[in-house]
Every structure is written in C-alpha cells, then in structure tokens.
Structure 1
Amino acid sequence: MSEQTVTYVDLKFCTLPKEKTKQKGKPSRIPEISKQEVIYSDLKCRAPSKSQRKPTPTVSENRESCSESLSWQLIAVILGSLSLVLLVISGVLGALVRRQIEILSQQEEVLKSLTQLNETLENCTLERDNFKAQNTNLKGEKCSAYSDCWKPHGEKFYYFTKERKSYQECKAHCSSHGSKLLKIENKDEMNFLNPLAHFHWLGLTRKGIASDWKWEDGTPHPINLFPVIKSQPGKSCAVFNSGQAYTNSCDEQRHCACMKITK
C-alpha cells in the first residue's frame, strides 16, 4: 500500500424528501438504507514512477548510520589529540636538545679553563721548585731569605763557602749544585761583590805564563774591568779580593765563590 499513490475525492450523501418516501397505500420496497442517495466518485489508485520512489530507511539502518558517524567523530578527536601531544613532545624535545647543547658548550669552556689553569699551576710549581733550589745552599740545607746562603743581585745568585778547597775542588763543588765559579762581567757586579768576596776562587785561569786569562766558559777577561796582580808569579789560577784579582796556586786552599744565573 505504501508503494502506491492514492487519490481521494469527496463522497456526498443526500436524503430524499419525506413526501417522496411515503406513498399512499403502498408499502415501501426499499430498505431504510436506500432512503439515502449515495453519490460516489471515482477512486483512482496509481503506482508512482521509479524516480519518485524514495525508500524509507529502517531503524537498524538509522542506528548503523549514527554509529558510523560517531565512530568517525571519535577517530577525528583521537587523531587531533595525538597531533597535539606530538607537537608538545617535539617542542619539549627541541628545548631539551638546545639546553643540552648549551651545557656541552659550557662544559667545553670549563674544561678549557681548567686546562689553562692546570698549565699555569704546573708553571707556578716549576717556578716554585726552581726558587726553592735557588734558596738551597751547597750542602742541601735551606736558606732563610738569602741571609746565609745564596745572595741575589740582578739576574744572578751568589754563594760564598766557609770551607776552604783547592781550585779544582771548588769548581767540582759548584758544578755539582748547578752553578759555576764566580765570573764578574761589569762594574756594578764588581761593586756588589767587593764587600762579600775575600780571597775567594774566581772562575778565571790561564794555561801558561804567556797565555791570556779566560773565564771558565772560555770568554777572555777584559783587563780594564779589574787587573790581575801577580802576587805569585807563574801561577795559573786567581782569587778575588776588594776589587782586584791575584794570581794564586791552583792547589792552594781557598774559599769557593759559586754563581748561578736565574734566566
């Protein structure tokens, strides 16, 4: 019935007048229902065309459609949430990576500073050891502010022994402690040594009477600096006292005057 189109028209019922329904002396053959006049119109039913047919969805189909729509909406919400979470995670990871790079850079700078400080400390330690060595007397005893041992002047330190030794013994004694016999190179140095050296061995020798005087390192002695007085003619070693040098036997026992350069 639902697949056809039904056309309805009005139905009219008419009632006959009483004078027509009652006839004298004749009983009515028409039943009471026939006393009314019924007018019928055509009632036409026609089937709709295929293009006009619209299937009505069932309840189950409606439920499935709603379920699918809700599923897609739920999937879209989940995907959006995951995208947001991933965006937040990527931002956090990027910040952590940048922070780690900054920390590594700071660690490299600190390591570089520590290396420089370590090198400086090693240099200071070396200078301290050298300073201690310079403050140690020839017997290995420590000196106090150069009062009794090494005495500084310019770029040199000087030490004057109390013991008496021969020239060769004093030379070996000074050499064993990283120093040499006294060498005077200028007037200022000579003025400093005048009150300290009293017939101490100099690092000044000659190979014979006709030879020139030379220092221990082989450089010649300038005569204009101070003279070498021939107190003992024919001797090849010299001692220093009060601004002058005196010839002396190399085997004679004299005080040692040792010298070291601080460069």
Structure 2
Amino acid sequence: MDALDLFVNVEEPSESGIYWKRKTDSSEILYQNEDKCHTVKPNRITSALSGLQSLGWSETVKKSSWRAAAVVLGLLCLLLLIGLITLASLYIKGSSKWEMEMVQLQTSYKNLTKEKDQLQTSYNNLTKEKDQLQTSYNNLTKEKDQLQTSYNNLTKEKDQLQTSHINLTKEKDQLQTSYENLTKEKDQLQTSYNNLTKEKDQLQTSYKNLTKEKDQLQTSYENLTKEKDQLQTSYNNLTKEQDQLQTSYNNLTKEKDQLQTSYNNLTKEQDQLQTSYNNLTKEQDQLQTSYNNLTKEKDQLQTSNENLTKEKDQLQTSYRNLTEERDQLQKRHNHLTMEMVQLQTSYKNLTKEKDQLQTSYNNLTKEKDQLQTSYNNLTKEQDQLQTSYRNLTEEQDQLQKRFEDTTNERNDLKRRDALFSQGWVSFRNHFYYISSGKKSWQQSRNDCLQKGADLVIINSHEEQEFTRTFKQLIWIGLTDMEREGKWKWVDGTPLTTSYWSSHEPNGVPGRDEDCAEIKNYDLEKSWNDESCHLERFWICEKILS
C-alpha cells in the first residue's frame, strides 16, 4: 500500500464522520477540524519533499521518506479523527439526552398548559354555574318570601273570615230565636184576630137582625130589598176579606216551612264550614312544618355559599400563582405540578360542593312547589269559605227580610187588633171609624188627625157603596175651601170621579157650602155640598203601611 492509498483510506472515514456529524447538528465544529486536517497534510508533505530535494537524496530515499511521512501523517490524522469522532459521539450523546429532556419538558409544558386551559375553562363554567345557581337561589328565596307573605295574608283573611262566620252564626241563632218568638206571637195574634173576627161576625149578625127589624118598621119592600142587597154586598166583601186572611195565613205557613228548610240547610252548611276549617287548620300546621324545613335548608345553602366563595377566592389565588409560574415553567416545573394537583383537588371539592348546592337547590325547588301547592289549596279553600260566607250572608239577609216582613205583619195584626178594639171597621185593607157624635167638618177632621187618620177619601164605586151602609149624614174628606168650584180631597188630590146627587153641588146664596157630605145614602149618587160649620157624623180612614 503506498502513501496515496493510505491517505485516501484516511479520507473516507473523515468524510463519513463529517456526514454523520452533520446529521447531529454540529456541522460547524466538524468543518473546522476537517479544514485543519487538510491544511496540515499538504504543508507537511510539501515541506518534506522540498527538504529531500534540497538534500539531493536519491530516488529511492525519496520514495521511502515519502512513504514514512505519509504513514506518520496518516496515523496522526487517524488518531485525530478517532479523537474527534469520540468527542463528537460523546457530545452527540449528551446533546441527544439534553434534547430528549428538552422535548419531554416541552411536552410536559404543553400538556400542563392544556390541562391548565381545561381547568380554567372548567373553572369558568363552574363559576357561571355557580352564578346561575346563586341567581336561581336568590329568585327562589324571593318567591319563598312572597309566598310566605301571601300565606300570612291568607291566614289573616281566614281568621277574619272565621270570626265573621262565628259572629254570623251567633246572629243567625239570635235571629232564629227572634223568629221563633215572633212566630209564637204571630200565632197568638192570629188567635186573637180569629176571635175578634168571630165577635165581628156576631156583631154583624146582630146588625143584620137590627136592620131587618128596622126594615120591617119602615114596611117598604123596595127599600128592604135594596138594603138586603147592600148587606149581601157587605157580606161578600167580608167573605173576600176572610179568604184573603186565609190566604195570608197559608202564605205565612209556607214561609214558616221555607224558613225551617233554610234553617236546616244553614245548619248543614255550618257543619261543612266547620269541617273545612278543621282541614284548613291541619294544612296550616303542615305548611308551618314545611316552612321550618325550608328555613333550615336555606341556612345550609347559605353556609355552602360561603364555603363556595372561600374556595372561589382560593381558586383565584391559585390561578394567579399559575399565571406567574407559567413564565418560569422550566425552573418551577415540579412546583407547578404540585399546584396543579392542588388545583385539581380544589376543582373536585368545588364540583362536589356544586353538586351539593344543586341538590339543595332541587330540594328547595320541591319544597317551593309543595308550598305553592299548599298555597293553591289554601286559596281554593278560602274561595270556598268565602262562597259559603256569601251564601250564609245572603241567607241571613233573606232571613232578616222574612223576619222584618213577619214583624211588619205582626205589627199590622197588632194595629188591626188595636183598631178593632177601638171600633174601627176593615174594608179592603183600609180601616174606617164612624163617629158616635156630631161635629163641624174641621172639628171632625181634627179628630181624625188625632187618631192618625183623616176624613175618608172615596176612590172607587165599592168604597162609595161601603160608606152608604152606615146610613147617616156623614162628612167626607172633600172641600173647595181654597178655590170655589175646585174640589179637592184632604190629601191634595183633585176630584176625578164624583157621586154628587142631582143638581149638586149647587151652593146656597148667602152662605158658603165648601164641604161635602153623604146625604142621600139610599141612592148611589149621595153627595151634597154643605156649610162646613154644620155638625154631622164623620168617617175617618186609615191605611196601614
């Protein structure tokens, strides 16, 4: 092997070493060593050849020296290359290990950044959920307070309604007692009225007998026939009054039965109202229990909210620390990993507390729904109780009206009884009093006014016929004192239907005939105008209101 071949062999590993070193990203160092190697070899060979030529060695010596120099240089280059290769291998191993650690650290940093971003996203979502849950909790608390206020108002209304019901029941009992007493008085008054009617009938019989005897003394068949017809008319009128009284009695009996039925219905409604009140009391106790539970859960929720706020502050602090440590990732990798674990633990705790808060929220929602249901049921019962109260009030008003009507009827019966005892006569719900003495027209009217009546006002043919049955010269409540010829009744109404006798009213020169009387009582047209100063019998008329 000559020196040139050895040099060529030495160049091959050098080139392969250079190629391998380029792949390890250390090209600059290897290029410098390569340049040094190539620079040494030509200089030394040239200087050696120059020396040999100057010395004038022979061709053989030249060749031997050349080969020896080449061998030495080749060995030196080989050793240098081997050292460089070893050094490059060691450097590459160290660089690869550092690069692997760098890649792992970069990967850990990226993973940690992703986890941090995910944790931040979860934290933001959890914060939003917490805010939404807090808002829902606040709204639920407001609804609970409003519902509690409505419940309290409803309870007050219920108590007021119950008080009104008790008072109404007492008034109903008092009214029922008054009604029973009034019924007894009405029955007694009815008995007195019946007895008085019998006495009136007996008196009327005596009157008929007296009339017959008077008619026999007059020996006038036509007058007797007319008087009999008049008496028959009076009898028919009396029969009608008796029928009306019987009808009134029947109506009163029906009203008594209806009142008894209303009383029975009122008793049933009272029992139903008592049952509703008992149910309402039970529901009120249940609602109070639900309210106490709701208060406890509200306190627990408040405690959970405070813990959540503290953990939120801790999480915020951890987040700030994480932001600061992100800039120093290489130096504080281990510290950041520990804080990540702590942050993960805090996140788990926060999630658990969120779940607990959600559970408390759900329980509070259920209790709110139950409270709402109880409130709705209580409202329905209040409406039913209000309806019952209105019905009871209406029945009380009806009972009060019937009581007043019965009282008025009783008072009418008493007044009728009193009038009958004083000599008054009934005709078509009007009462008439025929005087036993004679007075002037004004004195007669004053007497009627003292009795709470006035001189008779004749408004119908039947009433005209009735006044003729007394067969007396009688003052009536008709006069033209205010204006001559303008006849008015004592109540101020003008005369429309009249029963003046023939050629009446005529008046007599020299005296004023301003008052009307019944004169020709045997005839239908029986009125006459006469001087008001003359004395006559008179008829008072009273209408019971």
Q: TM-score, normalised by structure 1?
A: 0.52
- Alpha carbons of 1:185 and 1:143: their partners in 2 closer, same or farther (altered >3 Å)? closer
TM-superposition CA deviations, 1:147-188 (whole Å, max 9, x none): 9536242xx613214443522233123334554311213323
Q: Distance in 2 between matches of 1:165 and 1:82?
A: 103
Q: Is the counterpart of residue 151 in structure 1 residue 429 in structure 2?
A: no
1:239 and 1:246 in contact (8 A); partners too? yes
Q: State the partner residue of 1:95.
A: 373
Q: CA shift at 1:88, angstroms?
A: 1.9
Q: Is the counterpart of residue 195 in structure 1 residue 195 in structure 2?
A: no
- Alpha carbons of 1:237 and 1:108: their partners in 2 closer, same or farther (altered >3 Å)? same
Q: Distance in 1 between matches of 2:352 and 2:471?
A: 107
Q: Distance in 2 between matches of 1:245 and 1:62?
A: 129
* From 136, 146, 157, the counterpart of 2:415: 136
TM-superposition CA deviations, 1:94-139 (whole Å, max 9, x none): 33554565536963894598379649946973895498369636xx
Matched position secondary structure for 2:469? coil
2:455 and 2:538 in contact (8 A); partners too? no
2:474 and 2:536 in contact (8 A); partners too? no
TM-superposition CA deviations, 1:176-230 (whole Å, max 9, x none): 455431121332332344435744421123459x85754333624655x342779
Q: State the partner residue of 2:479.
A: 205
Q: Distance in 1 between matches of 2:442 and 2:418?
A: 25
Q: Distance in 1 between matches of 2:447 and 2:378?
A: 62
Q: State the partner residue of 1:86.
A: 364
Matched position secondary structure for 1:164? coil
- Alpha carbons of 1:185 and 1:256: their partners in 2 closer, same or farther (altered >3 Å)? closer
Q: State the partner residue of 1:13.
A: none
Counterpart code for 2:352: L
* 1:239-250 mapped onto 2 (5 Å cutoff): 239-240=517-518, 241-242=521-522, 243=524, 244-246=526-528, 250=533
- Alpha carbons of 1:204 and 1:114: their partners in 2 closer, same or farther (altered >3 Å)? same
1:181 and 1:201 in contact (8 A); partners too? yes
Counterpart code for 1:189: E
Q: Distance in 2 between matches of 1:116 and 1:177?
A: 39
Counting strand residues as a fraction of each chain, which structure ranks higher? 1
Q: Distance in 1 between matches of 2:529 and 2:495?
A: 16
Q: State the partner residue of 1:164.
A: 437
Matched position secondary structure for 1:50? helix
Q: State the partner residue of 1:260.
A: 543
Counterpart code for 1:95: T
Q: Distance in 2 between matches of 1:56 and 1:214?
A: 127
Aligned-residue CA RMSD in angstroms? Answer: 5.1
Q: State the partner residue of 1:74.
A: 352
- Alpha carbons of 1:204 and 1:221: their partners in 2 closer, same or farther (altered >3 Å)? farther
1:183 and 1:259 in contact (8 A); partners too? no
1:164 and 1:256 in contact (8 A); partners too? no
Q: State the partner residue of 2:489.
A: 215
Q: Distance in 1 between matches of 2:345 and 2:500?
A: 122
Bigger Cα displacement from structure 2, 236-245 vs 106-115: 106-115
Matched position secondary structure for 2:447? helix
1:163 and 1:256 in contact (8 A); partners too? no
Bigger Cα displacement from structure 2, 112-121 vs 172-181: 112-121
TM-superposition CA deviations, 1:69-109 (whole Å, max 9, x none): 65234313321222212312332343355456553696389
Q: Specify every segment of 5 or more residues in structure 1 that has no aligned partner in the other structure, as ranges.
A: 1-43
Q: Distance in 2 between matches of 1:190 and 1:159?
A: 13
Aligned identity (percent) is 12
2:435 and 2:537 in contact (8 A); partners too? no
Counting helix residues as a fraction of each chain, which structure ranks higher? 2
1:162 and 1:255 in contact (8 A); partners too? yes
In the comparison of the two structures, how many residue pairs are matched? 208
Q: Distance in 2 between matches of 1:199 and 1:135?
A: 31
Matched position secondary structure for 1:158? strand
Counterpart code for 2:104: Q
- Alpha carbons of 1:62 and 1:206: their partners in 2 closer, same or farther (altered >3 Å)? closer
- Alpha carbons of 1:147 and 1:173: their partners in 2 closer, same or farther (altered >3 Å)? closer
Q: Distance in 1 between matches of 2:419 and 2:415?
A: 6
Q: Is the counterpart of residue 107 in structure 1 residue 386 in structure 2?
A: yes
Q: Specify every segment of 5 or more residues in structure 2 that has no aligned partner in the other structure, as ranges.
A: 1-92, 109-332
* 1:220-239 mapped onto 2 (5 Å cutoff): 220=495, 222-223=497-498, 225-227=499-501, 236-239=514-517
